[in-house]
Protein backbone atom coordinates (compact mmCIF):
# COMPACT_ATOMS: atom_id res chain seq x y z
CA UNK A 1 0.00 0.00 0.00
CA UNK A 2 2.79 2.40 0.89
CA UNK A 3 4.54 1.71 -2.42
CA UNK A 4 1.36 2.48 -4.36
CA UNK A 5 0.90 5.76 -2.49
CA UNK A 6 4.53 6.70 -3.12
CA UNK A 7 4.12 6.08 -6.85
CA UNK A 8 0.92 8.10 -6.91
CA UNK A 9 2.59 11.06 -5.17
CA UNK A 10 5.56 10.82 -7.53
CA UNK A 11 3.28 10.76 -10.60
CA UNK A 12 1.31 13.73 -9.30
CA UNK A 13 4.53 15.63 -8.66
CA UNK A 14 5.86 14.95 -12.15
CA UNK A 15 2.59 16.05 -13.74
CA UNK A 16 2.38 19.15 -11.52
CA UNK A 17 5.89 20.15 -12.62
CA UNK A 18 4.94 19.72 -16.27
CA UNK A 19 1.75 21.73 -15.76
CA UNK A 20 3.77 24.55 -14.23
CA UNK A 21 6.31 24.47 -17.06
CA UNK A 22 3.60 24.40 -19.74
CA UNK A 23 1.75 27.25 -18.04
CA UNK A 24 4.90 29.36 -17.99
CA UNK A 25 5.63 28.79 -21.67
CA UNK A 26 2.01 29.49 -22.64
CA UNK A 27 1.96 32.68 -20.58
CA UNK A 28 5.17 33.77 -22.27
CA UNK A 29 3.69 33.02 -25.68
CA UNK A 30 0.49 34.91 -24.88
CA UNK A 31 2.55 38.00 -24.01
CA UNK A 32 4.11 37.91 -27.49
CA UNK A 33 1.83 35.79 -29.69
CA UNK A 34 3.75 36.64 -32.85
CA UNK A 35 6.95 35.11 -31.52
CA UNK A 36 7.75 31.88 -33.33
CA UNK A 37 10.31 30.98 -30.65
CA UNK A 38 7.82 31.40 -27.80
CA UNK A 39 5.28 29.36 -29.74
CA UNK A 40 7.86 26.62 -30.23
CA UNK A 41 8.63 26.58 -26.49
CA UNK A 42 4.91 26.44 -25.67
CA UNK A 43 4.41 23.50 -28.02
CA UNK A 44 7.34 21.67 -26.44
CA UNK A 45 5.94 22.32 -22.97
CA UNK A 46 2.53 21.04 -24.02
CA UNK A 47 4.08 17.97 -25.66
CA UNK A 48 5.98 17.14 -22.47
CA UNK A 49 2.83 17.58 -20.41
CA UNK A 50 0.88 15.33 -22.80
CA UNK A 51 3.57 12.67 -22.54
CA UNK A 52 3.54 12.84 -18.73
CA UNK A 53 -0.26 12.61 -18.71
CA UNK A 54 -0.26 9.68 -21.12
CA UNK A 55 2.37 7.82 -19.11
CA UNK A 56 1.36 8.74 -15.56
CA UNK A 57 -2.11 10.23 -15.78
CA UNK A 58 -3.97 7.12 -14.67
CA UNK A 59 -1.64 6.63 -11.73
CA UNK A 60 -1.94 10.31 -10.75
CA UNK A 61 -5.70 10.43 -11.15
CA UNK A 62 -5.77 12.86 -14.09
CA UNK A 63 -9.09 13.06 -15.88
CA UNK A 64 -9.65 12.25 -19.52
CA UNK A 65 -11.16 15.71 -19.90
CA UNK A 66 -7.91 17.34 -18.82
CA UNK A 67 -5.87 15.16 -21.18
CA UNK A 68 -8.26 16.03 -24.02
CA UNK A 69 -7.93 19.74 -23.28
CA UNK A 70 -4.13 19.54 -23.33
CA UNK A 71 -4.28 17.61 -26.60
CA UNK A 72 -6.51 20.34 -28.05
CA UNK A 73 -4.12 23.09 -26.95
CA UNK A 74 -1.19 21.25 -28.50
CA UNK A 75 -3.13 20.69 -31.74
CA UNK A 76 -4.11 24.36 -31.96
CA UNK A 77 -0.53 25.46 -31.30
CA UNK A 78 0.55 23.13 -34.11
CA UNK A 79 -1.77 24.86 -36.54
CA UNK A 80 -0.23 28.22 -35.70
CA UNK A 81 3.26 26.76 -36.10
CA UNK A 82 2.37 25.15 -39.43
CA UNK A 83 1.22 28.51 -40.76
CA UNK A 84 4.45 30.11 -39.49
CA UNK A 85 6.54 27.58 -41.37
CA UNK A 86 4.55 28.00 -44.57
CA UNK A 87 4.80 31.80 -44.45
CA UNK A 88 8.54 31.45 -43.95
CA UNK A 89 8.82 29.17 -46.99
CA UNK A 90 6.80 31.54 -49.14
CA UNK A 91 9.10 34.36 -48.03
CA UNK A 92 12.07 32.32 -49.26
CA UNK A 93 10.35 31.69 -52.61
CA UNK A 94 9.58 35.40 -52.92
CA UNK A 95 13.29 36.26 -52.70
CA UNK A 96 14.03 34.24 -55.83
CA UNK A 97 10.73 34.53 -57.67
CA UNK A 98 10.37 35.95 -61.13
CA UNK A 99 8.34 39.13 -61.26
CA UNK A 100 5.31 37.37 -62.80
CA UNK A 101 5.22 34.88 -59.86
CA UNK A 102 5.43 37.46 -57.09
CA UNK A 103 1.79 38.51 -57.25
CA UNK A 104 0.61 34.94 -56.68
CA UNK A 105 3.14 34.36 -53.92
CA UNK A 106 2.12 37.56 -52.15
CA UNK A 107 -1.53 36.51 -52.33
CA UNK A 108 -0.60 33.10 -50.93
CA UNK A 109 1.42 34.74 -48.15
CA UNK A 110 -1.53 36.96 -47.22
CA UNK A 111 -3.84 33.95 -47.08
CA UNK A 112 -1.38 32.07 -44.86
CA UNK A 113 -1.02 35.04 -42.54
CA UNK A 114 -4.80 35.21 -42.27
CA UNK A 115 -4.85 31.48 -41.43
CA UNK A 116 -2.17 31.98 -38.78
CA UNK A 117 -4.07 34.86 -37.22
CA UNK A 118 -7.27 32.79 -37.05
CA UNK A 119 -5.37 29.82 -35.59
CA UNK A 120 -3.66 32.11 -33.07
CA UNK A 121 -7.02 33.50 -31.92
CA UNK A 122 -8.37 29.96 -31.47
CA UNK A 123 -5.28 28.98 -29.48
CA UNK A 124 -5.59 32.04 -27.25
CA UNK A 125 -9.28 31.24 -26.68
CA UNK A 126 -8.39 27.65 -25.74
CA UNK A 127 -5.78 28.94 -23.27
CA UNK A 128 -8.37 31.24 -21.68
CA UNK A 129 -10.74 28.29 -21.30
CA UNK A 130 -8.15 26.28 -19.37
CA UNK A 131 -7.59 28.14 -16.09
CA UNK A 132 -5.24 25.43 -14.86
CA UNK A 133 -2.66 26.62 -17.40
CA UNK A 134 -3.08 30.37 -17.27
CA UNK A 135 0.13 32.01 -16.14
pLDDT digits (tens, 9 = 90+) for 31-57: 998 898 999 999 999 999 999 999 999
What's the pLDDT band for 22 if we cut at 50, 70, 90?
very high
Count of structural domains within the chain: 1
> In which domain, by residue range, is 44 found?
2-133
pLDDT at 135 over 50: no
Other beta carbons within 10 angstroms of residue 74's beta carbon come to 20
Residue among 120, 106, 96 at smallest CA distance from 26: 120
Residue among 77, 44, 59, 75 at smallest CA distance from 14: 59
For 23-35, b/e burial (b = at least 16 CB within 10 A) is bebbebbbeebee
What's the pLDDT band for 3 if we cut at 50, 70, 90?
low
Dmax over CA atoms of the chain, in Å, equals: 73
Amino acid sequence: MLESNTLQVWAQTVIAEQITAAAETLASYCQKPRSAERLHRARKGLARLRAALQDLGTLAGATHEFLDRIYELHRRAGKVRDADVLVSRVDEYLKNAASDERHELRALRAALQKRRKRARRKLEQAVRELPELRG
